[in-house]
Amino acid sequence: MRIFKFGGASVKDADGVKNLAKVLKTTGYDNTLVVISAMGKTTNRMELVIKNYFENKDQLQSAIHDVIKCHNDILVDLFENNRHQVFTDVKAFFDELNAFFKSNKSPDYNYVYDQVIGYGELISTTIISHYLNEIGLKNNWVDVREFVKTDNYYRRSNVNWEKTQENISSNLNTNILNITQGFLGSDANNFTTTLGREGSDYTAAIFAYCLNADSVTIWKDVPGVLNADPRYFENAQLLHQISYREAIELAFYGASVIHPKTLQPLQQKEIPLYVKSFLNPEADGTCVSKGKALVPEVPCFIVKKNQTLISLSSLDFSYIMEENISEIFSLLHLYKMKVDVIQNSAISFSVCIDNLFDNLEKLLQHLKAKFKVVCHNNVSLYTIRHYNDIAVKELEKDKEVLLKQLAQGTVQIVTK
């Protein structure tokens, strides 16, 4: 059994869908489950729909229409017969979306987000499943929400592994090509949940773990895992083979090629992960597998933009003690801040965070009641794995360094 995952960039238009079919024909598709994200920038468009629902209802239908148009353009390019069943199925999802907005009574943004955002994946997989059937690649469309069960921590749900294992082992027909959605699950009340942005890789790993798959392949628009993001760094190099541990470290620090949670379930069962180019499916790409010696021989650069650096000090110049640090972390947890770097001294504490849930102002107000607070918005966090002096100096060139932290094998630098 193999698990394939295709992201939004790979199916952003009709040509992308046709290329997905080409990849399946090239690599084979027997005993294969394909996890697919929303098409192109659909998730961003759906986030605008949600924003308008809460803040600008006059623009809600306009935002929904924009999503409809993008998908209809792809449908028209893929299907000559405008009476094809796929048009009816896609329309049914948009009708369901509008019905939710009319009936919803919950003011909880995170709950609404999860009920709405996943229509991108549901629609993309419906279109692709119909197209593959149309060209002779017979497949089964699977609603992932019937298989992946989670808690109700909306927008970053935790998997109920026991229930998910039971569902997948008992109910998934592995004798046919299966098409399903990434990113989504459902809670005990069957409300839709999500696994966090870019969570489709994690979905692939969940199925791989539960099916004891032979491998997982993530199909990207890059040749594999690179030592740097080519959008921000010149002369990026392909890492042909790395260990699970190294991949987990890179993902933890923010490498965008692999979702941070993806590696743990694969490592537990020693299922190899391949990262390959959907533009060149026969190339080797990168293999992530067991092996202590599989460490990159070059520095690996990771950058996270639009971070926030908060520096705290006591109001009376007293020490920042354990109870202070405990209280700070309780507040970070309360306001769902993702912590990327911490640094403390006797009378100060600094933390670089990712304001994923837009709770920064609430957090700052809470902190200002007990600490002197300095906040730097829109900073960049650079991480270099296997750094050397040349790499660090080149990175710091022409930048204002706000925080720098060195550990064995890794340096992190916050710049403005």
Annotated binding-site positions for ATP: 231
Annotated binding-site positions: 231
Where helices occur in 56-141 by DSSP H, the ranges are 60-78, 85-103, 109-117, 119-134
Model pLDDT for residues 406-416, shown as the tens digit of each residue: 998 999 999 99
Closest Cα partner for 4 from 278, 139, 204, 254?
204
Placement of tokens 């999860």 in the chain? 114
Domain boundaries, the chain: 2-213, 300-415
Contact 93, 130 (CB under 8 A): no
Task: Specify the amino acid at residue 32.
Answer: T
Distance CA 34, CA 181 (A): 8
Query: Can you give the pLDDT of all 416 residues of the chain as single tens digits?
Result: 999 999 999 999 999 999 999 999 999 999 999 999 999 999 999 999 999 999 999 999 999 999 999 999 999 999 999 999 999 999 999 999 999 999 999 999 999 999 999 999 999 999 999 999 999 999 999 999 999 999 999 999 999 999 999 999 999 999 999 999 999 999 999 999 999 877 999 999 999 999 999 999 999 999 999 999 988 999 999 999 999 989 988 988 988 778 778 999 999 999 999 999 999 999 999 999 997 666 788 999 999 999 999 999 999 989 999 999 999 999 999 999 999 999 999 999 999 999 989 999 999 999 999 999 999 999 999 999 999 999 999 999 999 999 999 998 999 999 99
Distance CA 395, CA 385 (A): 13
* Per-residue model confidence (pLDDT) at position 293: 61
Contact 395, 372 (CB under 8 A): no
Q: Which fold has domain 300-415?
A: VC0802-like (3.30.2130)
| Domain 2-213 top-level CATH class | alpha beta
Distance CA 262, CA 77 (A): 34
* Per-residue model confidence (pLDDT) at position 262: 92
Placement of tokens 């394939």 in the chain? 4
* Per-residue model confidence (pLDDT) at position 96: 98
What order of strands is seen across the sheet that includes strand 338-344? 338-344, 348-354, 300-314, 371-385, 410-415, 401-407
Placement of tokens 């629902």 in the chain? 53
The token pair that represents 341 in the structure block: 């770097």
CA distances in angstroms from 356 to 17, 156, 161, 379, listed in the order given: 31, 10, 25, 15
CA angle 242, 337, 332 (to 5 degrees): 120
Distance CA 219, CA 345 (A): 44
